[in-house]
């Protein structure tokens, strides 16, 4: 256990607090903790790379922290009707399918190396920005802004494109993987 991994674990442990803040209507505070979680994500990555502290544990914890934070925020905001249900379903389903595909490949003794695709990086960045914008807008009291409506469709399209790219890559891997 090293400093970057401790930072990542802290980010995971902050997720329930952010969800509680959202559910209790304390959007500005949820936004502040969300921004802090985002900064910590950059800080732990920087420290790990700069000081050669990357670990296998960290390679697994970091995406778990990111997925836990994003999916939890999208689910919470969706249940409260601040994000459209169709978008919440797309975001959550994509992540569940990716994790399921990786696990299935491992069970079938055809492990797949998890490498984020460029479209996935763009998608994740967009999902983070949209979540932050929604929380910030709610905190400032203007949740129905037109830009958010446009953002929902952009992120929906990116989520579908990213999920499709991963599915294509996984199918090719499974077809070409040898026992």
The reported pLDDT for the residue numbered 63 is 87
The reported pLDDT for the residue numbered 117 is 92
The reported pLDDT for the residue numbered 179 is 55
What is the average per-residue pLDDT within 27-43? 96
Residue 129 has pLDDT above 70, yes or no: yes
Q: What is the 3-state secondary structure (H, E, C) of 66-135?
A: HHHHHHHHHHHHHHCCCCCHHHHHHHHHHHHHHHHHHHHHHHCCCCCCCCCCHHHHHHHHHHHHHHHHHH
Nearest Cα neighbor of 5 from 53, 37, 50 is 53
What's the helix, strand, coil split of the chain in %, to 5? 80, 0, 20
What is the average per-residue pLDDT within 116-137? 94
> What Å distances lie between residue 83 and 13, 14, 33, 60, 172, CA to CA?
24, 21, 19, 28, 34
Separation of alpha carbons 158 and 130, rounded Å: 12
pTM of the model: 0.92
Residue 114 has pLDDT above 80, yes or no: no
Tokens of 174: 């499974």
Residue 178 has pLDDT above 70, yes or no: no
Answer yes or no: CATH 3.40.220.10 is held by domain 3-176.
Answer: no
Tokens of 132: 């932050």
Q: Where are the domains of the chain?
A: 3-176
């Amino acid at each position: 256990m090293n400093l970057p991994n401790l930072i990542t674990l802290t980010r995971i442990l902050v997720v329930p607090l952010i969800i509680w803040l959202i559910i209790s209507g304390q959007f500005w505070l949820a936004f502040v903790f969300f921004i802090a979680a985002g900064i910590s994500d950059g800080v732990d990555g920087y420290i790990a790379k700069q000081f050669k502290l990357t670990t296998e544990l960290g390679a697994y914890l970091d995406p778990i922290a990111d997925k836990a934070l994003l999916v939890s925020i999208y689910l919470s905001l969706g249940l409260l009707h601040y994000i459209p249900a169709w978008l919440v379903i797309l975001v959550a389903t994509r992540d569940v399918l990716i994790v399921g595909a990786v696990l299935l490949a491992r069970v079938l003794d055809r492990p797949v190396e998890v490498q984020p695709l460029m479209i996935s990086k763009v998608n994740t960045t967009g999902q983070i920005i949209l979540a932050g914008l929604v929380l910030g807008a709610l905190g400032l009291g203007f949740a129905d802004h037109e830009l958010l409506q446009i953002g929902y469709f952009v992120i929906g399209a990116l989520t579908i494109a990213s999920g499709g790219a991963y599915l294509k890559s996984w199918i090719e891997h499974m077809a070409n993987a040898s026992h």
